[in-house]
Structure 1
Amino acid sequence: MAEGGDDDAERTEEPSQKKLDDARKKGNIAKSQEINTWFMLLAGAMALSMFGANSSAAVVGSMRGILEHAHDIRLDGGSIMLFGQEVFYAVMGAIALPLALFMLAGLVGNIIQHPPLWTTEPLMPKFSKVSPIAGFGRIFSKQSLVTFLKGLVKIGIVGAILIAVVWPEQDRFALTVQMDVMALGPFILEETMKVLIATVAVFAVLAGADYVYQRQTWYNKLRMSVRELKEEYKQQEGDPHIKARIRQLRMERSRRRMMAAVPTATVVITNPTHFAVALKYENGMDAPVCVAKGLDAVALRIRSVAQENDVPTVENPPLARALYASVEIDDAIPDEHFRAVAEVIGYVYRLKGKTRKN
């Protein structure tokens, strides 16, 4: 959510993936209760179509037996308890499978909207949950108004469906008082199925529209201001000023190590002032290795350190430029420069030999 009193108008940017992931981890997800309701209505219709006839027949049979032998039922405490248990087991046996289907439907309704999520964040105590002011704000919020209007719409839909189904059958309903008990069950089941099928069809549209609305509302609440995006970027990537300072310190340490390696070089090849590449070669090495290189001020510093430590300096502008562009520090020179570098090192060795003779 916005911090520092950001207004909704300031949250003009799309939420980042991190913001969306953090919201989900905290249990803040897009969820429509109407989806769950629709799945449970569908489960009810399926349960009635699959088990309704058998369940109603079983319940009616049990009740008919009880009514036919009502005069045999003893009214003492133990008999009443036994009678109640028999009725309970008869009813539960008839509705056990439909109840299981209802529970499965509720689970599917949640899973289809989002994967299973385990978090204790919603259980954590928050002042806003017990604050009267916050509670008053929730009661008269836009979300509460939408929920209230949805309730009215659902009541109107169910009422309209009942009228549409029952009104043409009003003559048959009037005759139910004369029906046999065994015939009453199928009639009620038939009419209930009509109501459920119509309700499931209409609520499918309502549930879909509500899910789109809930998801869009959830997404809009997670929108971010430009300041929030910058703060999140700093947290993820680090403060640019700090990163620049770290790079500067690393470059300084690298430059100091490089300068410390210049006295060990065999030769420094220069441009003469713009480029400087210090190479080291010893017997047994496969190829000369670059121990230091630099441009402009750094090149002048390399030359100065080389002169202070009697490291020969050879001016060869084309070779200096080529080596600077093609070789990194602590890497061997490329094959294409072997011949030119060998001539320079050979010249240095000859120069050192003459110096020893003198």
Structure 2
Amino acid sequence: MDNGSKTEKATPKKRRDERKKGNIFSSKDITTVLSLAFVFFTLKAMFPMIFKRIAECIHIYINRIAEINILSVTTSHEILMDSMVTIAMIMIPIFSVSILAAVIGTGAQTRFLFSKDSLKPKFNRLNPLEGIKRIFSLKSFIEVLKGLIKIVIIGYILYLFFKGRTGDISKTLFLGIEASISYVLSSAMNMVYMVCIVFVFIAGFDFLYQRWDYERQIRMTKQEVKEEYKQMEGDPQVKGKIKELQRKMAMSRMMQAVPEADVIIRNPTHYAVALKYDIEKDAAPYVVAKGQDELALRIVQVAEEAGVYVMENKELTRAIYAVASLNEEIPLEYYGAVAEILALVYRIRGKNA
């Protein structure tokens, strides 16, 4: 199996990392269609105001020119400023709507992502070889192909549009100005409707392609998936060492508790259990240490060195070892047997004292 082949889907962590870098997919065609639609409907809504404003300006300028004997610099400047204000009043809302549509279209796809990494300079783009590779890459070829398809589609729509209206356009020569303008505007709106509808389908296909291409780019090799899993879950070797260290520390604490036990019961070499009971503090005797085989022998050795009484009781030792965990009280059914042992230990201590 070739671990160098990117055959695995990107993991959630990989997707989050790519998103932090600003590497996400989005369709520019969707943004373009949205901007086109917003601008078109804005123009349609504003057209009465635009028409009225332009008509007023033309009327004012014609009257002023008729009254002006000499066209001075001051007069020219006033006319120019009035014209610029009129144009600004018309264009600013259109530009604002276009920018808003672009922000909404891009933000809806990227969830309004802002990444500092995307602003950092990438000096590898200055490499001529990398630039040539990008120019002749599959992605560039597809982008060029999409552009040609758009041009062909729009050209075909315009051809069909004007072909079906050749006779009607010629008839506008015999109509009044308002009727001619109304017809032209109505036809232009119908044409824009057709273009928008076609571009919606193109944008949909482009979105699916961009998503497919993005998924292809962020694919991972089997080795990368394994390494990521190790990073998230921890290296098994490291985890094994940590567990071994924790086990040794727990054993060390357990062995330190053996000298504080009241009695050690054993079987005689395979099992050992250390019990402790303080009548003023404890509700029942509990296990402070337990072990099997070598650990059992070590518990007995530490206990003997500390002067803790050691007693053999095969059945009781195996039973308590099996059911009672470390620092856990012994079960109720063993109270009587353990009480007899502790009573014996206390009597021996009393005699020795």
With normalisation by structure 2, the TM-score equals 0.89
**Distance (whole Å) between structure 1 residues aligned to residue 322 and residue 56 of structure 2:** 96
Q: How many Å apart are 1:340 and its aligned residue?
A: 3.9
Taking only aligned residues, the RMSD between alpha carbons, in angstroms, comes to 2.6
Large movers: runs of 4+ above 6 Å: none
Corresponding residue of 2:40: 45
Corresponding residue of 2:51: 56
**Distance (whole Å) between structure 2 residues aligned to residue 228 and residue 136 of structure 1:** 29
- Output one character per residue of 1:220-275: Cα deviation in whole Å (capped at 9) or x when no partner: 11111122122222333332212211221221122122112211111122333333
2:311 pairs, out of 314, 325, 341, with 314
**Distance (whole Å) between structure 2 residues aligned to residue 89 and residue 195 of structure 1:** 30
| Residue type of the alignment partner of 1:106 | A
Alignment of 1:127 onto 2:119 = no
Q: Which runs of 5+ in 2 are unaligned?
A: none
Q: How many Å apart are 1:112 and its aligned residue?
A: 1.5
Q: Aligned to 1:173, what secondary structure does the other structure show?
A: helix
Corresponding residue of 1:301: 298
- Output one character per residue of 1:40-59: Cα deviation in whole Å (capped at 9) or x when no partner: 12213322332234323433
State whether residues 3 and 222 of structure 2, in contact with CA within 8 Å, keep that contact through their aligned partners in structure 1.
no
- Output one character per residue of 1:92-115: Cα deviation in whole Å (capped at 9) or x when no partner: 323443333222211110121121
Corresponding residue of 1:329: 326
1:91-130 equivalent positions in 2, closer than 5 A: 91-130=87-126
Q: Aligned to 1:112, what secondary structure does the other structure show?
A: helix
Q: How many Å apart are 1:190 and its aligned residue?
A: 1.2
Q: How many Å apart are 1:26 and its aligned residue?
A: 0.8
**Distance (whole Å) between structure 1 residues aligned to residue 239 and residue 63 of structure 2:** 89
Corresponding residue of 1:4: none
Q: Aligned to 1:113, what secondary structure does the other structure show?
A: helix
How many percent identity over aligned positions? 36
Distance 1:321 1:183, change over 3 A: farther
Corresponding residue of 2:157: 161
2:286 pairs, out of 272, 286, 289, with 289
2:76 pairs, out of 64, 77, 80, with 80
Q: How many Å apart are 1:20 and its aligned residue?
A: 0.4
| Residue type of the alignment partner of 1:54 | M
**Distance (whole Å) between structure 2 residues aligned to residue 8 and residue 243 of structure 1:** 25
Alignment of 1:137 onto 2:158 = no
Q: How many Å apart are 1:75 and its aligned residue?
A: 3.7
**Distance (whole Å) between structure 2 residues aligned to residue 67 and residue 270 of structure 1:** 119
Corresponding residue of 1:347: 344
Alignment of 1:190 onto 2:151 = no
State whether residues 4 and 223 of structure 2, in contact with CA within 8 Å, keep that contact through their aligned partners in structure 1.
no
Q: How many Å apart are 1:207 and its aligned residue?
A: 0.9
Q: Aligned to 2:220, what secondary structure does the other structure show?
A: coil
Alignment of 1:201 onto 2:197 = yes
Alignment of 1:269 onto 2:265 = yes
Corresponding residue of 1:16: 11
Distance 1:349 1:146, change over 3 A: same
| Residue type of the alignment partner of 1:323 | I
Alignment of 1:222 onto 2:203 = no
Q: Aligned to 1:191, what secondary structure does the other structure show?
A: helix
Alignment of 1:279 onto 2:275 = yes
State whether residues 290 and 296 of structure 2, in contact with CA within 8 Å, keep that contact through their aligned partners in structure 1.
yes
Alignment length (residue pairs): 350
